Amino acid sequence: MKAVVYHGPRDVRVEDVPDPKIEKPTDAIVRITSTNICGSDLHMYEGRTDFEPGRVFGHENVGEVVEVGNAVEKVKVGDMISAPFNVSCGHCSNCERGLTNYCERANSPGIAGAAYGFADMGPWQGGQAEYLRVPWADFDALRLPEDARERQNDYVMLSDIFPTGWHATEMAGLSPGETCVIYGGGPVGLMAALSATLKSASQVFVVDRHPDRLKLAEEIGAIPIDRSQGDPVQQVKDRTNGIGADCGCECVGYQAHDQEGNEDNSATLNALVQSVKFTGRIGTVGVFIPQDPGAPNDLAKQGKAAFDVGWHWFKGQSMGHGQCPVKRYNRYLRSLIHEGKCKPSWIVSHELPLEQAAEGYKNFDARERGWTKVVLKPQMKAA
């Protein structure tokens, strides 16, 4: 089959790789119909992780089940499914508690949490390919309703960014009527904004500097904060009686940039501490990693950041971190899509055949204007 293979920094190629096979009776094989490029892929694409050359990217996958192992009872051939980016067994002590983001069996011993096509997240191949092996299929695969094929660009957001944005607002403890400030207007920040809006936040601020991303935030009723026009903290305070927002979401991660445009892994964390009120909560879904040899300074190379713990403590704030447990939310977010309560596909800017993945990566990585979310379609023919 064809798949998007990583060769080295900023070098991906669509190549032939072996077809996935049923390896355990609990596996399913899925023909991928839509698979997104994610901001998480970009950390790997830029060579800022130890993702191994030769491996296949892709953790935001939708497709049709074409084969199931003998022990798979619920999922049937022909079902359209969404595969959560977390690979999880369903019956370890973390999975039992709903912490499928930290499954103890899907990665190497001593490391909890696994994902498709992801650095340090287990051996699983990615779904930017014609086919994907989904382990523990009865547990992991979410079956999609009859409108799955025509509304794929909505449902494809269920494997990662819609639940992840929702999770940011959950960790931020957002209640109806509260204000929420979101750093990052990429796909994840925009999904956090959609989630905050669905949860009836009174004001949702989205901080970024890209006009196309800020415009998408505005389209769902969020308030764009253009940080190229001045200190975003001050802009948020000016709109919240000088107090700051009730809660905040970090949707950028360790490759955040400071106001001068230099990479600074503490930039958004510290801006959030200042933009959120005393006692406010912050949900951090942007990725931070334990080692970052490509970082611009020694502290960051060791996965550390000059975090403003003094103000964070003084303000009595709290913060939640980590990968999103997609299964906690995806069933319910599926219903919101199916019942027409939201349309997360509003951020999709490009649908490309798999063959054009390299072009998608290049433009999305450059945050080229108008390239807000790329969905790869393995069955689409190249133009």
Ligand X SMILES: NC(=O)c1ccc[n+]([C@@H]2O[C@H](COP(=O)([O-])OP(=O)(O)OC[C@H]3O[C@@H](n4cnc5c(N)ncnc54)[C@H](O)[C@@H]3O)[C@@H](O)[C@H]2O)c1
Token pair of 82 as six digits: 């969404």
SS (H, E, C) 58-82: CCCEEEEEEEECCCCCCCCCCCEEE
Which of 192, 324, 337, 352 contacts ligand X by CB under 6 A?
324
| Contacts (CB under 5 A) with Zn ion, residues 22-51 | 38, 40
For residues 63, 68, 72 and 78, what is the CA-based torsion angle, rounded to 10 degrees?
A: 50
User: What is the C-alpha to C-alpha distance for residues 205 and 379, in angstroms, rounded to an integer?
Assistant: 38
In the complex with ligand X, the residue whose CB is nearer, 131 or 329, is 329
Does residue 350 bind ligand X (CB under 6 A)?
no
In the complex with ligand X, the residue whose CB is nearer, 27 or 160, is 160
Say which entry of Zn ion, ligand X, none residue 283 contacts (CB below 5 to 8 A, set by partner kind). none
Which of 28, 201, 252, 319 contacts ligand X by CB under 6 A?
252
In the complex with ligand X, the residue whose CB is nearer, 55 or 167, is 167
- Rounded to the nearest whole angstrom, what is the least distance from the CB of residue 373 to ligand X in the complex? 8
In the complex with Zn ion, the residue whose CB is nearer, 128 or 179, is 128
Contact 114, 94 (CB under 8 A): no
* Of 105-113, 144-152, 209-217, 291-299: span binding ligand X (CB under 6 A): 209-217
A 10 A CB-CB count for 381 gives 7
The DSSP bridge partners found for residue 281 are 247, 318
In the complex with Zn ion, the residue whose CB is nearer, 42 or 65, is 42
**Residue 123 three-state SS:** coil
Token pair of 75 as six digits: 């999922």
Does residue 323 bind ligand X (CB under 6 A)?
yes
| Contacts (CB under 6 A) with ligand X, residues 117-176 | 160-161, 164
From the number of C-beta atoms within 10 Å of its C-beta (0-12, 13-18, 19+), residue 259 rates as: middle
User: What is the C-alpha to C-alpha distance for residues 99 and 95, in angstroms, rounded to an integer?
Assistant: 5
Which of 285, 295, 319, 374 contacts ligand X by CB under 6 A?
285
Say which entry of ligand X, Zn ion, none residue 55 contacts (CB below 5 to 8 A, set by partner kind). none
Which positions from 168 to 207 touch ligand X by CB under 6 A, shown as an x/- string? ---------------xxxxxxx-----------------x
Contact 204, 239 (CB under 8 A): no
Mind giving me the DSSP string for 276-308? EEEEEEEEE-S---S--TTSSSHHHHTT-----
Which of 160, 170, 178, 292 contacts Zn ion by CB under 5 A?
160
Contact 201, 168 (CB under 8 A): no
* Of 34-42, 47-55, 143-151, 353-361: span binding ligand X (CB under 6 A): 34-42
In the complex with ligand X, the residue whose CB is nearer, 32 or 285, is 285
In the complex with ligand X, the residue whose CB is nearer, 256 or 300, is 256
Does residue 248 bind ligand X (CB under 6 A)?
no
- Alpha helices, DSSP H only, in the chain? 39-45, 93-96, 137-140, 152-155, 161-171, 187-198, 211-219, 232-238, 267-275, 298-301, 309-314, 330-338, 357-365
In the complex with Zn ion, the residue whose CB is nearer, 29 or 38, is 38
Say which entry of ligand X, Zn ion, none residue 103 contacts (CB below 5 to 8 A, set by partner kind). Zn ion
Token pair of 109 as six digits: 């011993």
Does residue 267 bind ligand X (CB under 6 A)?
yes
Does residue 92 bind Zn ion (CB under 5 A)?
yes
Residues ≥6 apart with Cβ < 8 Å to 110: none
Does residue 112 bind Zn ion (CB under 5 A)?
no
| Contacts (CB under 5 A) with Zn ion, residues 57-86 | 60
User: What is the C-alpha to C-alpha distance for residues 348 and 212, in angstroms, rounded to an integer?
Assistant: 12
Q: Which residues bind ligand X (CB under 6 A)?
A: 38-40, 42-43, 160-161, 164, 183-189, 207-210, 213, 227, 251-253, 256-257, 267-268, 285-287, 323-324, 367
Residues lying near Zn ion in the complex (CB under 5 A): 38, 40, 60, 88-89, 92, 95, 103, 105, 160
